Amino acid sequence: MSEAYNFAYLDEGTKRMIRRALLKAVAVPGYQVPFASREMPMPYGWGTGGVQVTAAILGRSDVLKVIDQGADDTTNAVSIRRFFAKTAGVATTTRTTEASVIQTRHRIPETPLHEGQTLVYQVPIPEPLRFLEPRETETRQMHALAEYGLMHVKLYEDISRHGHIATTYAYPVEVAGRYVMDPSPTPKFDNPKMDDCPALQLFGAGRERRIYAVPPYTTVRSLDFEDHPFRVQTFTEPCALCAARGHYLDEVVTDDAGGRMYICSDTDACETRREDVR
Amino acid sequence: MLRPGFRDPVHDAQGVFRAVLDALARPGTIHAISTHLDPPEPLTPELAAIALALTDGDTPVWLDPALTASPEVAAYLRFHTGAPLTDDPARAAFAFVREAGRCPPLAAFAQGSPAYPDGSTTLVLALDSLDVGAGLRLTGPGSRGTADLALAPMPPGWPGALRENHAGFPLGVDGLLTAPGRVAGLPRSTAVEG
């Protein structure tokens, strides 16, 4: 652990400010709490919001896992894991079951989370209404009035144009029957995992300076229509490596002759399954 | 002489925060606050720990008459947190109440605004006892089914005042209930019976 930094990099005043925002976020599930996001030693878009949330909650006894699109071994995951190993000296793991804090970019692990775990999402655009209404003053008012008709119009336009709701990621959800929230660009495949989840879910958007949260055992409903109910992606093939069905799969192009394979996006779930089979 | 604050400011504050976060995220569960603090009377170690962990120059703090009566308490909090003290509960980011039996009405504190419900007061109460058991029946985000919390003394007007507080959601006050060595959360998202 590097002695040149305060524990987990951030100074204590910044941590206090983020901690207060987290408490408000938990008390008002799905509401985006503004916070004074700091510059971090990584570019925006690389998880500066998630890193700040993780730094504010992390303690010496935590075990940290970091995933990027489900994988523990990609650049973003490896660099953030090393960042906290260096600045906080915390134990790190790739095992979902062993982690107490999991920072994620755009996936929820396949292995069910349990009580006592905290999932920290890296969020690029926290405002679900932003592409429908660019003015922050307006979207803030829309949330205040729970005026979400525009979002339903957007989903309806999907149906009228494509015959089904074509939104496949960052699929809007309603939290605890009140706020509509962007689940971050996770595939909609992961939306059902957010509902009634035993783990605490925290969301940090660094560039946009917003923190929000979903407490454990909270109703998270994907927006839909009675005649067009919410559905997740399905895959016809099993994972080419571990033969799992019901996992979210990535397409990997293997040659320039149309060859391709589908493998689990969650590397830990895939490896664990292969070990179990062996 | 001024009493000392946290022995290990970084990790003690983190421990207190995580207990408070868990308590607020899981209403009806009780979490341990371990603190070596020995604050001036009548400030309790738990109130002091939460104040030192979460307040600073950005957070106006309101103290109840029991705490205000002791200049040592004000001096202790001013020195260790730098938080400005306010006598207007509606301006407070945090309110510390030593005599829960004389807690002001929840409506006296900042409620937040429809656009910024986070602009509300976090109310920190010192109780004599806090246990899982018949008392307040809680439902809402964070509790699986229902949870029961027994507290003594019961602040005046509760649980009716808590129901009103919840009815105003997303506005309203968030409560942190403390007793020796323990803390429980009562966020505004929680519906209360009993």
Shortest CA gap B169–chain A (Å): 8
| Confidence at residue A29, expressed as pLDDT on a 0 to 100 scale | 98
What secondary structure, in 3-state letters, does B120-133 show? ECEEEEECCEEEEE
Binary contact (B143, A29; C-beta < 8 A): no
Is the pLDDT reported for residue A2 higher than 80?
no
Chain B interface mutation, best of A10, A15, A24, A143, highest count of B Cβ atoms under 10 Å? A24
In chain A, % of residues over pLDDT 70: 100
Cβ of B191 under 8 Å from any chain A Cβ? Answer: no
Q: Which residues of B touch A143 (CB under 8 A)?
A: 115
Q: Which residues of A touch B113 (CB under 8 A)?
A: 144
ipTM of the complex: 0.98
Express each pLDDT in A97-123 by its tens digit.
999 999 999 999 999 999 999 999 999
Our measurement of the distance from residue A15's CA atom to the centroid of its chain's CA atoms, rounded to an integer in Å, reads: 21
Chain A interface mutation, best of B26, B118, B144, highest count of A Cβ atoms under 10 Å? B118
Cβ of B29 under 8 Å from any chain A Cβ? Answer: no
The domain limits of chain B are 9-193
Assigned token pair, A8: 């987990």
Express each pLDDT in A172-217 by its tens digit.
999 999 999 999 999 999 999 999 999 999 999 999 999 999 999 9
- Is the domain A12-222 a CATH 3.40.50.11310 member? yes
What secondary structure, in 3-state letters, does chain A show? CCCCCECCECCHHHHHHHHHHHHHHHHCCCCCEECCCCCCCCCCCCCHHHHHHHHHHCCCCCEEEEEECCECCCHHHHHHHHHHHHHCCCEECCCHHHCCEEEEECCCCCCCCCCCCEEEEECCCCCCCCCCCCCHHHHHHHHHCCCCHHHHHHHHHHHHHHCCCCCCECCCEEECCCEEECCCCCEHHHHHHHCCCCCEEEEEECCCCEEEEECCCCCEEECCECCECCCCCCCCCCCCCCCCCCCCEEEEECCCCCCEEEEECCHHHHHHHHHHHC
Residue A30 annotated in active site: yes
| Confidence at residue B41, expressed as pLDDT on a 0 to 100 scale | 94
Express each pLDDT in A58-74 by its tens digit.
999 999 999 999 999 99
Q: Which residues of B touch A6 (CB under 8 A)?
A: 10
A3 — pLDDT class (breaks 50, 70, 90): confident
**Amino acid, single-letter form, for residue B143:** S
Residue A233's contacts (CB-CB under 8 Å, 6 or more residues apart) are A168, A187, A188, A189, A248
Binary contact (B26, A215; C-beta < 8 A): yes
Beta bridge partners of B32: B182
Beta bridge partners of B61: B85, B94
Question: For residue B58, what is the nearest residue in chain A, using CA coordinates?
Answer: A17
Cβ of B24 under 8 Å from any chain A Cβ? Answer: yes
Give the active site residue among A89, A239, A258, A259. A239
- If you average pLDDT over residues A132-161, what whole number do you get? 96
| Confidence at residue B1, expressed as pLDDT on a 0 to 100 scale | 81
Size of interface A-B (CB pairs under 8 A): 107
Residue A197 annotated in active site: no
| Confidence at residue A35, expressed as pLDDT on a 0 to 100 scale | 98
| Confidence at residue B136, expressed as pLDDT on a 0 to 100 scale | 95
Express each pLDDT in A208-246 by its tens digit.
999 999 999 999 999 999 999 999 999 999 999 999 999
Q: What is the fold of B9-193?
A: Rossmann fold (3.40.50)
**What span, in angstroms and rounded, lies between the C-alpha atoms of A25 and A70?**
25
A277 — pLDDT class (breaks 50, 70, 90): confident
- If you average pLDDT over residues A35-48, what whole number do you get? 95
Q: Are B114 and B171 in contact (CB under 8 A)?
A: yes
Interface of B with A in 163-182 (CB under 8 A): 169-170, 174
Q: Digits of tens for pLDDT over chain B (194 positions)? A: 899 999 999 999 999 999 999 999 999 999 999 888 999 999 999 999 999 999 999 999 999 999 999 999 999 999 999 999 999 999 999 999 999 999 999 999 999 999 999 999 999 999 999 999 999 999 999 999 999 999 999 999 999 999 999 999 999 999 999 999 999 999 999 999 86
Assigned token pair, A117: 């775990």
Interface of B with A in 123-152 (CB under 8 A): 140-144
Whole-number Cα distances in Å, B5 to A196, A197, B67, B69, B79: 39, 37, 17, 21, 9
Beta bridge partners of A264: A249
Nearest CB to A27; choose among B11, B54, B174: B174
Binary contact (A21, B140; C-beta < 8 A): no
From B130, B148, B143, select the one nearest B187 (Cα to Cα): B143
